[in-house]
Amino acid sequence: MTDSTTQLSTPGALPPLSLYVHIPWCVRKCPYCDFNSHAQRDTSLPEEAYIDALIRDLTFELQRQVTQRPLHSIFIGGGTPSLFSAPSFERLLTTIDQLMGISADTEITLEANPGTFEQIKFAGFKAAGINRLSLGIQSFNDIQLKALGRIHSAENAMTAAKSAIQLFDRVNLDLMHGLPQQTTAGALADLHQAISLGPEHLSWYQLTLEPNTEFHARPPTLPVDEALWEIQEAGQQHLAQAGFRQYEISAYARHQAMSRHNLNYWTFGDYIGIGAGAHGKVSYRSDEGLRIERHEKLRQPKAYLNAINPTQKRQWVAQEELPFEFMLNALRLYDGVSIDLFEQRTGLSLQQLQKPLTLARGKGLLMDNPDRLAPSAQGRLFLNDLLEIFL
C-alpha cells in the first residue's frame, strides 16, 4: 500500500511550458548583482556563435519529450540582452517558432537597459517579435544611480521609458528602494516619476546585499529597518492610489497587465532554461504518475559556447522536497493559489499538507480559507517564517 504522504494524484494535464533564455554579458557588473552576468571584455561579443549555441541547447532539450507542448511565454534575461542586435533575436525567435511554435498571444519579454546604445534598438526589437520590454531603471535619481554602479543617467531612464511605452503595448519598469542614504521622499519621488510615464507594470523591490557581490564585501550605508518599513508602507499606498494592484511580493500591475511568464513560475509551471547558467524545471507524466526534473546549464560563457551539450546537471526533484518548492513560489503571490493546484502541479495528495497547513493557520500566517493557499497579511510580513513550516 502506498503511504498517504506520497500518494500520487490522478494524472491530468501538464503545467504550462515557458522558455527562459539567458544572455550573460553586460557592459559593467553592478555591485549588487548576484546573477550570472559577466562584464564585456572587448567591443565585440560572440553574438552569432552564442545564438547558434542557444539553438543547439534548445534542440537538445526538445529531444526530452516536450516538443508537443504549446509555448506559454518566452523571457530573455541577463546580463543585458539588449546588447545583442535585433536580427540576432529575430533569428532565435524564428527558430523557436519552427521548433516549438509561437502563437499570436505568446508573451515574449526582453530585458533592456536604458542606455542610449540600447534605446536606438527598441524599434528593431519590436520588429523582431519582442512584444514586452522590461527596463532596468532602478532609480530616476543620478546620485542613487551612481551609488548603484549604473551606467545610465536619470535622463537616459526617462527617455528610454517614454520610447518603450510609445513602441510596446506592454512595458515593465524595474525600480529598487532602500537604496544607500535613501529617504521615504526619495523613494516616493522615484515611484511618482515612474507612474507619470504611464507603464502598466512595475517591479518595485528592496535592495538586498547578496553573497558574492561587491556590496556584500563592502556594504554601503542603507536605511535602517524603521526607515525601510516606512518606505515600503508609503510606496505601497502610493501605488495603490495610482491604480497598481500588488499581485506578488515585488510586482504591481494595472489593467490586468501581470507578467504571464513570472506568473507561470509562481504557480509552479514548467520552463526550459537555455543559455549560460540557465535553470529549468519540466514535469513528465507516466503510468507511475508525475515526476519533475530540474536542469542547469554551464555557467561560464566560454564553456557554454564550446560545449556540444551544455547541460551541467539534471536531477529529479525528490517528492519530500515538492511541498516546500511549491510554496516557495505560490506564497509569493498576494492572493495565493487554488488549493487544488498543489495536487495538479506536484502530483502529491493534499493529505501531505494537512499538518503544516494546520500549523501555519494556527500561527495566523496563512489565510483561513479551505479553498486557497494564500498568505495572510501577517504571513506576507513574515514570509520566511511561513515557508519554514513547509520545509
- Domain of residue 128: give its range: 17-263
| Residues 189-195: contacts with CB under 8 Å, at least 24 apart | 189/140, 189/141, 190/139, 190/140, 190/141, 190/144, 191/235, 191/238, 191/239, 192/238, 193/140, 193/158, 194/137, 194/140, 194/161, 195/238, 195/239, 195/242, 195/244
On the question of pLDDT at 207 being above 70, the answer is yes
Reported as a pLDDT band with limits 50, 70 and 90, residue 12 is low
Domain co-membership, 207 together with 355: no
CA 242 to chain centre: 24
- Helix, strand or coil for residue 281? strand
Look at residues 241, 263, 285 and tell me which one is the last residue of a structural domain.
263
Question: For residue 129, what is its C-alpha cell?
Answer: 517579435
Q: Is residue 306 part of a domain?
A: no
Q: Is residue 313 part of a domain?
A: no
pLDDT at 66: 66
User: What percent of the chain is helix, strand and coil (3-state, nearest 5)?
Assistant: 40, 25, 35
Domain co-membership, 241 together with 354: no
Please state the domain count of the chain: 2
For the chain, give the percent of residues with pLDDT over 90.
85
pLDDT at 118: 84
Q: In CATH, what number is assigned to the domain containing residue 114?
A: 3.20.20.70
Q: What is the pLDDT of residues 323-354, one digit of tens each?
A: 999 999 999 999 999 999 999 999 999 888 89
Q: Is residue 311 part of a domain?
A: no
Look at residues 263, 283, 308 and tell me which one is the last residue of a structural domain.
263
Q: Is residue 304 part of a domain?
A: no
Look at residues 263, 282, 302 and tell me which one is the last residue of a structural domain.
263
Q: 287 versus 108: which is more confidently predicted? A: 108
pTM over 0.85: yes
On the question of pLDDT at 2 being above 50, the answer is no
